[in-house]
Amino acid sequence: MSKFNETQELLTQLIRNECVNDGSVASGHEYKNSDLLEGYLGLPGIKLDTFESQPGRKSLVARLEGSNPEASSLCLMGHTDVVPVSPEGWKHDPFGAELIDGEIWGRGAIDMLNLTASMAVAMKQVAMSGSRPAGDLVFFAVADEEAGGTYGAKYAVENHWDLIAADCVLTEYGGIQSENETGKFVLINAGEKGVDWRRLIIKGKPGHGSRPYGADNALVKAAEIVRRIDQYRPNPVLTDQWKRRIDSLDLPAELRSRLSSEAALAEALSELDPGDASFFHACSHTTFSPNVIEGGTKTNTICDHVELHLDIRSLPGETPDEIDAHLRTALGDLYGEVEFERFLDTPANKELASSSEVKGKLWDSVASAVQRAEPGATIVPGLITGGTDARFYREMGSQVLGAGLLNSNVDSSEFYSRFHGHNERIDLHSLDLATQLWIDVVDTFNQN
């Protein structure tokens, strides 16, 4: 079987194992995918370790020892869990992994069992090549990415760092191609937004609901707070990376230039298709989304207590104090009437957002490997708006890039809609490209 057929075969089995993570401890059952990959990688030279954070929540680490203990180590990290499906929205069985018109269909086909499968195949190819890489090569097939990593990457960093340690890491997600009159580009993600969820506690005075005149009603105050947050327009932050990313887009030059201007950005965003607009807005702004409200006791009692959950996503480098300053501006005179609780942030106790440098051996190796497949293509750094396991390694000081390589005809907006959506699928050419990319990155990384 060729290495490309092995990736297809592994992906098919990983999808059919249905390692669905619904956020509960008892879900995931990643032992099935861990066991499958352990069996696949049982080869001389590869040291295999597994650990279970909770029954069934198993992760696998495969390590190929390098020839030079001083050389940088490289880890290929892929998660083995997938998010649940709503089967009625699918055209084909979400766990059938059927090959239809050159595409493999199923939950995880792009997020990210495709990459996990191709990474495992690359690991095996390197192990069988007969020549040891200079630095250690690690393949980490990790559980529980989709519910925040508590039973996967977080657990591994806290309990098994010696097993998973690596100087450089490649994981989800990159590889979208674009082209305009200035050249050909491949997106490689170098950072992700931070999470700083806040619970806002808004108090009032209870009283009889029949006499609302002049009442101090917490719900009325909360409504005004929600309105102010919705109306708040923080300034965009347009970094050099932002400008490089915009310059690579397949958009008219005139629109690209407005997207790189603070003054013209708001209007330019409104001219993009809705999926792109919300994505590029999130990449250039701190965002605030009021998503949960709880409060009140009884229809005839004036509301004296409301809790409002705000999903706040910070830009790389933004601190909790800076988030507080945003909230002070947004809420104005109501700021003092609210108690704030931080109830989820990542990485804990550090800067809220994480990013890695876009230079050095790892960046250059990805650039050369991409060039082998797509001569003349330049890699461009991007930002992921959600969270991935990259942050756990970044917190330990590793350089982490979200990499991959997709067929040049994959449309980015349509492709991103398949993440956690219906009809997730991957074309076979993209699988081949990813498999070869990892092999070539390992090769160039160990030559540099």
State the residues that interact with Zn ion by CB under 5 A.
111-112, 172
In the complex, what is the shortest distance from the CB of residue 354 to Zn ion, in angstroms, rounded to a whole number? 16
Which of 72, 116 has the CB closer to Zn ion? 116
The encoded tokens of residue 365 equal 């190796």
Query: Which residue's CB is nearer to Zn ion, number 112 or number 259?
Result: 112
Question: C-beta of 152: minimal distance to Zn ion in Å?
Answer: 11
For residue 383, the SS3 value is: strand
Minimum separation from the CB atom of position 158 to Zn ion (A): 21
Taking alpha carbons only, the member of 443, 430, 424, 440 closest to residue 96 is: 424
Cβ 79 to Zn ion shortest distance, Å = 6
Query: Buried b vs exposed e over 185-202: b needs ≥16 C-beta within 10 Å?
Result: bbbbbbbbbbbbbbbbbb
Q: Which amino acid type is present at position 155?
A: Y
Does the bond joining 151 to the residue before it have cis omega, within 30 degrees of 0?
Answer: no
Distance in Å, CB of 248 to Zn ion, minimum: 23
Closer residue to Zn ion (CB): 424 or 432: 424
Question: Do strands 103-105 and 425-427 pair parallel, antiparallel, or not at all (unpaired)?
Answer: antiparallel
From the CB of 195, what's the least distance to Zn ion, in Å? 15
CB 426 to Zn ion: min, Å:
13
d(CA 92, CA 100): 9
Within 10 angstroms of residue 254's Cβ, the number of other Cβ atoms is: 9
- Tokens representing residue 379 in the block: 């890699």
Residue 4 and residue 11: Cα distance in Å, rounded? 11
Give whichever of 194 and 204 is closer to Zn ion, judged by the CB atom. Answer: 194
Give strand ranges (E) for 181-304.
183-192, 194-203, 287-295
If the CB atoms of residues 38 and 111 are measured against Zn ion, the closer one turns out to be: 111
Residues 175, 403 contacting (CB under 8 angstroms): yes
Q: Compare residues 7 and 286 and give the one whose CB is closer to Zn ion.
A: 7
Q: What are the backbone angles phi and psi of residue 220, rounded to the nearest 5°?
A: -65, -40
Nearer to Zn ion, 7 or 260 (CB): 7
